[in-house]
Amino acid sequence: MIKIATLKPIIGGNEYLSGSAFDVYEPATGDVIGDILDVGVEGVETAVAAAKKAFPAWRGMTPKDRAAKLLAIADTIDANAEQLGILESRDVGKPLADAVAEMHSAADKYRFFAGAARSMMAPAPGEYKPGITSMVRREPVGVVAALTPWNYPMGLTSWKIAPALAAGNTVVLKPPTEASLTTLYLAHLIADILPAGVLNVVTGRGSTVGAALAGHPDVALVSLTGGTSTGKTIMRQAADTMKIVHLELGGKAPVLVFDDADLDKFSATMKGAVYRNSGQDCTAATRIYAHESIKDEVVERISHIANSLVVGNGFTDPSVEMGPVVSLRQQEVVSGFVDRARATGHARIAAGGEKHGLNGSYYAPTVVTNVRQEDEIVQEEIFGPVVAVSSFGTEEEAIAKANGVAYGLAASVWTRDIDRALVSAARIEAGTVWVNDHGPTTAEMPFGGYKQSGVGRDLSIHAVEEHMHLKHVAVSHGRTL
Ligand code: NAD
């Protein structure tokens, strides 16, 4: 294994050595486990120049040859999944088994996009005007800036860079300040697979490096997975140079539980849907609306899950089901939301509601009830192990409540009535709606948000298309076929 302290960014195929170092904290213990470089604006300039230089040769390769590189990346990730998982587990605080599973899931995305690169579709070439043959070309856009969040650093890196590379773009990737280690390690592992400059990694503390990258005039497309406020900042910045923006942002997923739902399957699913990755999941089940006839039972079931979850250091203890949140700062954010809910006077804490007693940035699995639709805890993304449970009377009310927030990333509907399931799925404003499930995504299907959850789609063939220009080539020969 490469020692954490030697993990320098890779720019233009080489380790980049200048910048100031900052500490990496392990959320489960609070210990410093390494340091990484803030490459500053100078590092961003070097990286974008390297990506620009590498672009002509990379775009000139056949899809088949680019696909071979992506397949080699997938094999490398699978072969190093244990080591990458250890780094991710310690850097983010998630249980080791979950972190290793994330690596294999990431490898699958490179495999999917290797195939997608060779399967692009477009309207048929033909003579749509007399004497002119028209055809469509799909062309890469150039240098792509990819910015990733800390909840699934390696998983979401695959969502960002695999379609961009498959399309023939070169990439400058900025991992999150809080969790850069696996991205850096991956860059070292695949340095010999990709030609120099095709993938460059820049690291930094705070927003300086990300902002310099997202605003760089030689970047054609900015692809962010992150918070909605970061997305808005990037959208504004992009206007000056008319960049394409591809934004996967925050969520506040509603869960509609009708009175005919299979409550055993619902409960078994909610354990992961609410508390997986300590609730730091953009599709996490955060607002449960249960029919008024079953609301008390639903509160009881979710509270039982919260109270019985094994919380601790999932790197050292395989029995642990939920680790800490990513940082002390995030622990304060979560704590603030719950304290303000408590202070409303009407909301009731049914489980948890406080920092966990362990050292490190833990927060107890929490259930809040008696909430109102306009409450902050129902309206705003928390990104922690907290769920708000309330009720509805009619299907109409359930849909209105599901849609009554600024976000629209994902939702689930629990019912045995097929008509109600189909109509609800159509009426809910979200990029993904699960029926009698909550959470599964797959490389073949698009993923993205309505409303303030973003623009554009990750995953699926559409993600490759969104990283390419469409060009109409019209050849005027004046002949009749
Ligand atoms: P964040 O927005 O703080 O950071 C995301 C990335 O953007 C990081 O690399 C960060 O360094 C960079 N960045 C921050 N400010 C920037 C700026 N002004 N200019 C350019 N880059 C900047 O997000 P986070 O806190 O790391 O992650 C949590 C958020 O990500 C949550 O809101 C969550 O919902 C969202 N998320 C969305 C999805 C999705 O697919 N929709 C998936 C996972 C996470």
How remote is the CA of residue 463 from the centroid of ligand 1, in Å?
Answer: 19
Q: What is the DSSP string of 80-99?
A: THHHHHHHHHHHH---HHHH
Task: Please report, for residues 39, 125, 224, 248, 395, the alpha-carbon distance to residue 234 in angstroms, rounded to integers and kept in the order given.
Answer: 20, 37, 8, 12, 37
**Residue written as tokens 């490389």?**
443
How remote is the CA of residue 378 from the centroid of ligand 1, in Å?
Answer: 21
Q: How far apart are CA 202 and CA 78, in angstroms?
A: 24
User: What are the pLDDT digits (tens) for 16-49?
Assistant: 999 999 999 999 999 999 899 999 999 999 999 9
- Residue 293 forms part of a structural domain: yes
Mutate to test the pocket of ligand 1, among 157, 209, 219, 230 (most ligand atoms within 8 A of CB): 230
- Residue 214 forms part of a structural domain: yes
- Residue 481 forms part of a structural domain: no
| Same domain as 396, residue 278 | yes
- Residue 366 forms part of a structural domain: yes
Q: Does position 459 have pLDDT exceeding 80, yes or no?
A: yes
Mean pLDDT, range 172-183, rounded to an integer: 96
When pLDDT is cut at 50, 70 and 90, the band that residue 96 belongs to is very high
**Residue written as tokens 């469409």?**
470
| Same domain as 88, residue 112 | yes
Asked whether 326 and 178 are in contact (CB, 8 A), the reply is yes
Residue of the CA atom closest to atom 33 of ligand 1: 250
Residue of the CA atom closest to atom 15 of ligand 1: 207
| Same domain as 231, residue 275 | no
pLDDT, residue 111, reads: 98
| Same domain as 30, residue 119 | yes
User: What are the pLDDT digits (tens) for 465-479?
Assistant: 999 999 999 999 999
The CATH code of the domain that includes 396 is 3.40.309.10
Q: Does position 160 have pLDDT exceeding 80, yes or no?
A: yes
Task: Please report, for residues 229, 336, 350, 380, the alpha-carbon distance to residue 333 in angstroms, rounded to integers and kept in the order given.
Answer: 15, 5, 20, 12
45 Cβ contact partners less than 8 Å away, ≥ 6 residues apart: 212, 216
| Same domain as 40, residue 150 | yes
Residue 363's CB: how many other CB atoms inside 10 A? 27
User: What are the pLDDT digits (tens) for 244-276?
Assistant: 999 999 999 999 999 999 999 999 999 999 999
- Residue 264 forms part of a structural domain: yes
pLDDT, residue 4, reads: 57
| Same domain as 378, residue 241 | no
When pLDDT is cut at 50, 70 and 90, the band that residue 302 belongs to is very high
Phi, psi of 138 (to 5 degrees): -105, 125
The CATH code of the domain that includes 25 is 3.40.605.10
Asked whether 442 and 425 are in contact (CB, 8 A), the reply is no
| Same domain as 330, residue 206 | no
- Residue 447 forms part of a structural domain: no
Q: How far apart are CA 50 and CA 48, in angstroms?
A: 5
pLDDT, residue 2, reads: 45
Active site residues: 248, 282
User: What are the pLDDT digits (tens) for 436-451?
Assistant: 999 999 999 999 999 9
Mapping DSSP onto H, E and C, the string for 410-448 reads: EEEEECCCHHHHHHHHHHCCCCEEEECCCCCCCCCCCEC
E-strand ranges in 220-363 read 221-225, 244-248, 253-257, 285-291, 348-351
**Residue written as tokens 């799909």?**
138
User: What are the pLDDT digits (tens) for 359-418?
Assistant: 899 999 999 999 999 999 999 999 999 999 999 999 999 999 999 999 999 999 999 999
| Same domain as 303, residue 212 | no
How remote is the CA of residue 147 from the centroid of ligand 1, in Å?
Answer: 7
From the alpha carbon of 449, which atom of ligand 1 is closest?
41
E-strand ranges in 305-384 read 348-351, 366-369
| Same domain as 244, residue 269 | no
Domain that holds residue 242: 4-249+453-472
- Residue 375 forms part of a structural domain: yes
Pocket lining: 383 vs ligand 1, CB cutoff 6 Å: yes
When pLDDT is cut at 50, 70 and 90, the band that residue 312 belongs to is very high
Q: What's the total number of domains in the chain?
A: 2
Q: If you average pLDDT over every residue of the chain, what do you get?
A: 97
Q: Does position 155 have pLDDT exceeding 50, yes or no?
A: yes
Q: How far apart are CA 157 and CA 187, in angstroms?
A: 11
Pocket lining: 226 vs ligand 1, CB cutoff 6 Å: yes
Start-to-end C-alpha separation, the chain = 64
pLDDT, residue 6, reads: 62
Residue of the CA atom closest to atom 11 of ligand 1: 176
| H or E segment and range at residue 454 | strand 454-455
Pocket lining: 225 vs ligand 1, CB cutoff 6 Å: yes
The percent of residues in the chain predicted with pLDDT above 70, rounded, is 99
When pLDDT is cut at 50, 70 and 90, the band that residue 7 belongs to is confident
pLDDT, residue 1, reads: 39
Pocket lining: 177 vs ligand 1, CB cutoff 6 Å: yes
How remote is the CA of residue 150 from the centroid of ligand 1, in Å?
Answer: 8
- Residue 480 forms part of a structural domain: no
Q: Which two tokens stand for residue 32?
A: 């410093």
| Same domain as 31, residue 165 | yes
| Same domain as 277, residue 239 | no
| Same domain as 346, residue 204 | no
How remote is the CA of residue 280 from the centroid of ligand 1, in Å?
Answer: 12
